[in-house]
Each structure stands twice: as C-alpha cells, then as structure tokens.
Structure 1
C-alpha cells in the first residue's frame, strides 16, 4: 500500500510539471506571434531632460505587448503589455498604468506585477504608459509610451458586429520641429497636420513632468500648426513634448514622436519708434481713413512703409493719398512718397485711404512702421 501511494504521488507530480511546461510554452508562442506591426513605440526621453523625484523608483522600461489573459473569453478587446521591473531603495509597492483618452491620460489599471492591461474596443489601438510607486509614496518618472491593439486573446472567438459611428482615428502628427518662433521667450515648436476620414478638430500637446505626461495646451487646426509656452518653463532647460490629434467623435491618434525642445531667451522687444492716431469717417459702404504717424524715436526716419492690419477680409482698398497704397489679404500697405520720405524726430506725417467694406465698421488691429509695431497715440 505504501508503494502504491508513492507511485501515485510521483505520477501527480509529473503531471503538474508537464502542465506548467505546457502553459509556459503557450505563453512563449503567443508572445512570439504578437503582431509587431500593430505596436507603436515612442523612444524614452533622456533622463537628463526631466527632473525626477528624490528617492523615487526607477523609470519602468522595455514596454512590450503581452499575451491577453486566457480566462476572459469575451467579444470585447483587451489591451495588454509587459515591462521590466523598476528598482527602489525600499522596494517597489506597485505600478499604475495610464491610458490615453480624448480628455487626456486616465488611470486604467493598478498592479503589483509587471504585466497589465484593460478591456477596450476590439481592434482599437490604445496608447499607455506606466509609473512605479514605492511604499513611501514616491512615484517614478513615466515610462516611454506604447500603443497596442486590443485583441480577443489566445483563444479566438467570433468577431462582434462593429458598432455604428466614426471609429477611425486621425493619423499620427509628424515632423515636430523646435524653435519655430525665434522671437518668442520660452518653448516653441511646430508640426505637420494629421489627416482624418472626417476632420481633425484639435491637437493636444503633452509635456513630460517628473511623474506623468501633462496636457499643457490644445491647438486648433490651422495652416501653421505651432505651440508656445513660457509660464512653466525655465530658459536654458530642455523639455520633452508630444502631440496627439483628435476628431469630433473622440478618436485620438497615435502620439507623435517625442520632441526635446529648448526654452530660449527669444529676441528682445524693440522700443517703438512711432505712434499712430487713426480716425475714420464712413458713409454708405465706404470708409475714409486718416492716419497720423509720429516719430517718437531718437533719430530721423528716412524712408518708411506703414502696414495697417484689419481683422476682416471684407475691407477693400479703393484709393489713397500721401502714400503709394497696396493691399494683400487683410493688410493695407502705404509706402512713402519722395516729399514725405523723412520724418524728423518729434514730427508727424499724415496719410490716408478710402476703402469699401461690408458688415459692421471695421477697426485696424495694429499698425507697423518698417516692420516695428507703433503705439496708439
């Protein structure tokens, strides 16, 4: 009887080892078969570019797609990733996984393991990052971003019928370029527009902080896409940014590649050398503008060009006097005549024009003499 029990125990132990070996092999096959074409990575920013919290865990690294859990066989998708463990002097207590939504990053999962994920729309691509926490509440710098596709898991099931509506995200913003506005104090950069099956409605700008990726601005679509900030940056330091496009249905693009941008001094603001007084008389659909330009600088102005910018394109130049007038878009430009080419210090010259307009009476938004803004007299 004792011999029989020993043989039975040996058989059970052998079966246990075989089961573990089989599950390990299935996990390896699934990871090897992960569709890398569906995965987008963003390179981790240099640690020298972002301040870290003293005593915080190290940044989670090597984010990669991981097999979807075996148990939940559902018609919904599941986005799952793995990462290499962080280190900490007192030990890592857990990891927080954040998912990018239309309103920004939201906490999607908390785990003590180095694998995590969440349920989502089947075949939708999700962008996420991970931070580590220790028992004292210190939080690590955020990991690099990773974008993976929500799948059904290792055991296939029938694909559900797609829900109606727009589920197509915009394309990834590209070609981020630093210092697009050289005269701006702080950080400036620009990028190429995304495309969408309907329309891109906004671009959200994120900056890496010590523990997260914070949304620092939203830019509406335009012919020249650019972002600038000065209040929360220090001149001479670098900051890491990325841009996400979104549409009216709340679909978000894969984030752009990260950009390391330098906060710059910018050009000094020049002291105005001119002041302008403006008055206009109107009748019917015409306005008669009278402009007095005064030299408030310290040297005579020898040759000048005055630009007048209106907010409405409905203003159309018809004639002018005491200057050679032209129009480009909403800007009217007057160039000196030979007899009023020089404006001595403290002296004035008077010029004007007639223009047609529609709607309410327009008022200029600014005046500039030889490219430098004038003050209002």
Structure 2
C-alpha cells in the first residue's frame, strides 16, 4: 500500500504502510524504503524490519518521494508501492528569547559550613532548562551549582563568613536571563570548643598499625560536612590505606574528610573511620584534633 507520512518536521518524519504478506515459505524479512529528493538524482535506501520507519536527516523546505518494497527470507522483493510525496516545512526560527529574571534567592538551613538557596522560577517562550547559581566575590563570580529546579544545597563554606549569591536562568538554546537580585548571608559560628569528641584506638604489629577513629558531635547543632585534622607526633608515622573518609597527609599533618554518606552528624551522632599505617620507632597517639578548625576533646 501507499506509505503515509506523519509527524513531519523540517528535518524528519515517520512513514507507515500496510504490512505485506509472504506465501512462499521463507517468510517476510523486512522492507526496503527508497527516498528520493525532487531536483536531485541521489537515492537513499533505508531498511526497516516493520511497517513503520522514522526518517531523519532531511532538509527543510524540500520535497521527498518515498516508495516501499517488501523482502522475504529468500531475497525476493515485491513490486514498489505507490509513491508518497512529502514536503518538509521551513525550519523554526532560532530561539533568541532569554528566560525571565529569576526571583531573589533566599537562604535557609544555614549552618557553619553550608546552606540551602531557593528562588522563584523563571519563564521562557519555549522552556527553562536550568539555572546557574553564582557566588559573588571581589575577584569575580564563581559557579557553585547548575540545578534544573529552583533549589540548591551549597556546601563547603567557611564558618562565620559573609557570602553573596545570585541566580541566572538558561534555556535549551543557551539564552541566559538577567541575573537575579543577590542575597547576602553569613554562615553560622563554628561549634564552641568541646562541640566534638574523638576516640582514637590502634592495634599494631612490627612497623604497621591500624587506627580506628570515632568522631562524635557533642554540640547542639548538626554538622554538615566535616574535616578532622591532627598532627602525628613522630615524622615516621604514615597514613596508608584508609576507609570511610578521604585521607591526606602532608609531612606530619593529616586530614580526614567526610564522604557523601557520613558527612552529616546530628547532635549526639557519631561516625567511625580509620586507616592502616606504618611507623618507625614509637607510635604515639596524636595529642590534639580539630573538626572544621574547632578543637575537639580526645579520649
């Protein structure tokens, strides 16, 4: 039967046609669709296993002619169907309209190291595809996130520090809105001394040892993301393979930074992590620990 075109755009369409039958025993194997562009001698041969085909890579405002032949398992081909002639429409005009300006962001859940920003959504003549959130500073703006929605959790901030953020909306064509009005926010003070407690235990052999660390939030506010820092008493003490934290060592100074699953500690909550290490000579316990720059009690 004659193929029928649907979902016609400037660059593609969908062809459907009545299914063929085969009585020769080898069975219907598929279809061959011939595509010809009016005004051109080039032919394109397309294959389809079913009686429908999505045709792509067409040109706008061109006329195309399509015929279909069925093919059986033995390689026999039917006569060609009647011609279907289709003219593609003009391509849509480029989208040059930027989204509207987002609403002024507001900050909530402000802690010493993070906060959550939210803002009123932008609109667009086609669609808003996302937002870019910037932290403003004297040296220029820094992109801190690109959410598709109207909220963003910002982490890694410094306690008792003033910040300013603004938001820009973008669409699929890359058009960017005017920046929102900025929001200024100051992070909370760090927990008071004694807001954290560290328990350090080791088991050793020859020049190796395993250190297990338990960190407890003894303060009254949640900790969102932590870095525990300490200094080995002896230069020969070295961190090897660690777990449940990201470990770094520079000289005798060591830091353990939270992972995605254990960075939040509610008041009274604890988390454990550790490492296998080596030492030369004795292997004393570090005398002091700090959590995000604040001293902890040690046991």
TM beyond 0.5: no
TM (normalized to structure 1)? Answer: 0.28
Larger radius of gyration: 2
Higher percent of residues as strand: 2
Higher percent of residues as helix: 1
